[in-house]
Structure 1
Amino acid sequence: MTAESTRIDFRYLSEPDMIRAGVTDIAACVGTMEEALVLLADGDYRMAGASGNSHGAQINFPAHPDHEGMPADGPDRRFMAMPAYLGGRFRAAGVKWYGSNTENRKHDLPRSIHLFILNDADTGAPKAVMSANLLSAYRTGAVPGVGVKHLAVQGATTVGIIGPGVMSRTILSAAISQRPGIRTVKIKGRSAGSTERAAQWIRDHHPQLTEVRIVDSEQEAVEGSDILIAGTSTSPDGPSGFPYFRADQLKPGALLLMPAAARLDDDFVRSDRANLVVDYTGLYSEWYEENGPDVTYEQLLGIPGNRWWDMYKEGSLPREKLVNIGDIAAGRAPGRTDDGQIFCYSIGGMPVEDVAWACDLYDRAVADDIGTTLNLWETPELR
């Protein structure tokens, strides 16, 4: 081999570089996530673990470490690696690596700090190293956006948000990109200051809205809303502290977007009124196998799909009631057939989504020469 053929360069993309490459283009991201979710349903992917469905590998810490300097357990205190391969036109591998600690907010830092590495699927060579907080945030918002595209009523005008953090804001942006007739947003938050900041962010970024209103109760957020967003983390109180979507408060035709902790009554989940959709059943199956039947959904992330999978495994919910959004997008499973149906969409989040959006941003960066090209080697010292 010549020195030229063994040379490996990769592109470094800072957060400003990622913005220039289009990471905040939520409508484009929804389209890319739709492709990724169809490929998932097709089986053209791999994630970690023997089944290829693992969310990733996580480092947790003991509550009382024996060793000086070791971090102690705390809210959202972990390190995590999320590797994946995605086929189709993407045909690439990558890994998102991040550290998370709620205490970061005291230092004006995000709760979690993300980095993404994109690799050539054949050689394994790095193609890019990317700042990934925005990558992760926007793909997280766009996956529910695919649900809005296929499951929300066409004339949706009102969105209710319980937990108006960053995730809920990008989900709202995705929803508006798919249903531009949205005009009213109702917000229920935990603290007055952060809720008002979220409301002002929404007003500033979506001036076409006619009303952005802070409400005092979950019931006010739920009632009359065409689209509902659950954006709170797990609660030390368990499910009693999760956003509660009471069946009798749901508007006919409502779409529930649940990428975080949320609670539904089991009787409603089993009923014909509830149409259950997940981002991908393989993820919930793997979470169940990794953690065992004694670890319930409220001990994981509080995501409803984990509860639904528990119900399936205990024999109280038919397996066929859980439908992949990718199968709906591909036309293999029915979506909305009338404006009275209620859809409950559970989103766990998967690294294949990061791979897909990273690929598109990398291609834009190369085309527009965004970022910094760095050299790994001219010729490897050991081979």
Structure 2
Amino acid sequence: MSGQKLDFRYLNEQDMIKAGVSDMSGCIKAMEDMFVLLHKGDYRMGGEDANEHGIRVSFPKTSSVEGMPLHKPDYRFMAMPAYLGGRFHSFGIKSYGSNPDNPQKGLPRSILMMSLMDAETGAPLAYMSANILSAMRTGATAGVGARHLCVQNPKTVAIIGPGTMSRYSLNAFVEAQPTIDIVKIKGRGKNSLKNFIEYCKTEFPNIKEYVICDSFEEACEGADIVFYGTTNASKYEDNPTVKKEWLKPGALVIAASALLVDTEFLSDKKVKLISDNYKMYDGWGSGQPLPTQKNVSTLLGMGFYDAVTEGRIMRESITEMGEILAGKKTGRDSDDQILLYAVGGMPIEDVAWGYDVYMNAIEKGIGTKLNLWEKPAL
């Protein structure tokens, strides 16, 4: 092996599209496989507990250093490393920078890249555009919930926050549950609503009706699936919420972003709590001041953690999605049961879908081979 030539594959955004990054059916299958491996423990993420979401560079609210970026909502730079075993057996790092002012420069709010490496040697396998990959895996993770937690033959989906994350999640919902034909939407601006509906009419011709709602309550009413995909509000108290009385019996609430839920709702015996990976929230909140939803993250999973830490619910009352897919626990227990499914985003999701797209690229000869060295200098 000494002195071996080393190449890796670069995949730009168009290469990723050609290699099937937008295949929602395939992505949902990859997320299902990932959840089973998560349950088996055949994975590692960051930190000693192997469950960290990622490493974030935070900026100060004020600074005397010239040119120092200052804190604002959704302004962050992160690296998200992970190993995933099973058929994937790869290590990867997704990195991204997010700035809410980017659209004013004609750029997406977040710009993401994915590095895929050999799990044995650390040699690079691929360096790939990851904006679509990341959106797909987030949507597909929500889609896994729609497939395994929803009532039979759902008709109506409520979308809270009609942004990119919601587009891909709706794609996953329609893939997982083809009977969906009504979409209710609650957004903050007319342009986002208009763009979302225009996109959906092109991509999802089977949807018959779009209903624009003025409140969270109106959007939730009568929906079989309620999806929260909003960005963080400037003030914690202005983040979206949900109440049990707004929901129909049997509703599935999926939150992939900010969602504040009162403890009485979480502790209701008729409500079932599902987590993508509770250990991630537990590690995230450990040692942090309560409520961690206010001090760490507005994700629903942190709300689960707060309720457990405060002794308002038992840890055992939270079911892991991996337990359901591995056949160890049930998902929905009755047609009228309300379910809350917390989706926080994990780098093992990026490794799973990144690996499958990479393998497609190899099979089809897509991408550009780049040489790292003919012979290592060190």
Output the TM-score relative to the length of structure 2.
0.98
Q: Deviations over 1:234-265 (max 9, x none)?
A: 22332x32222111110111000101111222
In structure 2, how many angstroms separate the alpha carbons of the residues matched to 1:66 and 1:87?
A: 46
In 1, are the aligned partners of 2:289 and 2:295 still within 8 Å (CA)?
A: no
1:264 to 261, 284, 287: 261
Aligned partner letter, 2:304: W
In structure 1, how many angstroms separate the alpha carbons of the residues matched to 2:329 and 2:278?
A: 14
Aligned partner letter, 2:195: R
CA offset at residue 64 of structure 1?
A: 2.0
Hey, what does 1:154 align to over in structure 2?
Answer: 152
Look up the SS of the partner of 2:304 in the other structure: helix
Q: Deviations over 1:52-97 (max 9, x none)?
A: 1111111111122222222122221221000000001100000001
Q: Deviations over 1:305-363 (max 9, x none)?
A: 10111111121110101111011111101111321111100011000000000100000
Hey, what does 1:274 align to over in structure 2?
Answer: 271
CA offset at residue 2 of structure 1?
A: 6.2
Matching of residues 7-26 of structure 1 within 5 Å: 7-26=5-24
1:46 to 28, 44, 48: 44
Task: Identify which range, 224-233 or 308-317, moves more after superposition.
Answer: 308-317
Look up the SS of the partner of 2:226 in the other structure: strand
Hey, what does 1:251 align to over in structure 2?
Answer: 248
In 2, are the aligned partners of 1:11 and 1:129 still within 8 Å (CA)?
A: yes
In structure 1, how many angstroms separate the alpha carbons of the residues matched to 2:244 and 2:76?
A: 35
Look up the SS of the partner of 2:261 in the other structure: coil
2:340 to 341, 344, 368: 344
Hey, what does 2:235 align to over in structure 1?
Answer: 237
Aligned partner letter, 1:345: Y
Matching of residue 285 in structure 1 with residue 282 in structure 2: yes
1:140 to 118, 138, 141: 138
Q: How many residues align?
A: 378
Look up the SS of the partner of 1:261 in the other structure: coil
Hey, what does 2:71 align to over in structure 1?
Answer: 73
Matching of residues 55-66 of structure 1 within 5 Å: 55-66=53-64
Aligned partner letter, 2:150: A
Look up the SS of the partner of 1:216 in the other structure: coil
Distance 1:370 1:321, change over 3 A: same
Matching of residue 335 in structure 1 with residue 327 in structure 2: no
In structure 2, how many angstroms separate the alpha carbons of the residues matched to 1:2 and 1:298?
A: 52
Matching of residue 377 in structure 1 with residue 373 in structure 2: yes
2:349 to 341, 347, 353: 353
In 2, are the aligned partners of 1:199 and 1:213 still within 8 Å (CA)?
A: no
In structure 1, how many angstroms separate the alpha carbons of the residues matched to 2:295 and 2:163?
A: 21
Aligned partner letter, 1:372: T
Distance 1:2 1:267, change over 3 A: closer
In structure 2, how many angstroms separate the alpha carbons of the residues matched to 1:294 and 1:344?
A: 21
Hey, what does 2:315 align to over in structure 1?
Answer: 319
CA RMSD after TM alignment: 1.2
Q: Deviations over 1:86-123 (max 9, x none)?
A: 00110000000111110101112111100100000000
In 2, are the aligned partners of 1:196 and 1:214 still within 8 Å (CA)?
A: no
Look up the SS of the partner of 1:102 in the other structure: coil
Look up the SS of the partner of 2:8 in the other structure: strand
In structure 1, how many angstroms separate the alpha carbons of the residues matched to 2:201 and 2:296?
A: 34
Which ranges in structure 1 are unaligned for 5 or more consecutive residues?
Answer: none
In 1, are the aligned partners of 2:73 and 2:233 still within 8 Å (CA)?
A: no
Look up the SS of the partner of 1:333 in the other structure: coil
Distance 1:67 1:252, change over 3 A: same
In structure 2, how many angstroms separate the alpha carbons of the residues matched to 1:362 and 1:253?
A: 39
Aligned partner letter, 1:250: L
Look up the SS of the partner of 1:116 in the other structure: strand
In structure 2, how many angstroms separate the alpha carbons of the residues matched to 1:336 and 1:2?
A: 55
In structure 2, how many angstroms separate the alpha carbons of the residues matched to 1:10 and 1:20?
A: 18
Matching of residues 48-197 of structure 1 within 5 Å: 48-197=46-195
In 1, are the aligned partners of 2:74 and 2:231 still within 8 Å (CA)?
A: no
In structure 1, how many angstroms separate the alpha carbons of the residues matched to 2:376 and 2:210?
A: 57
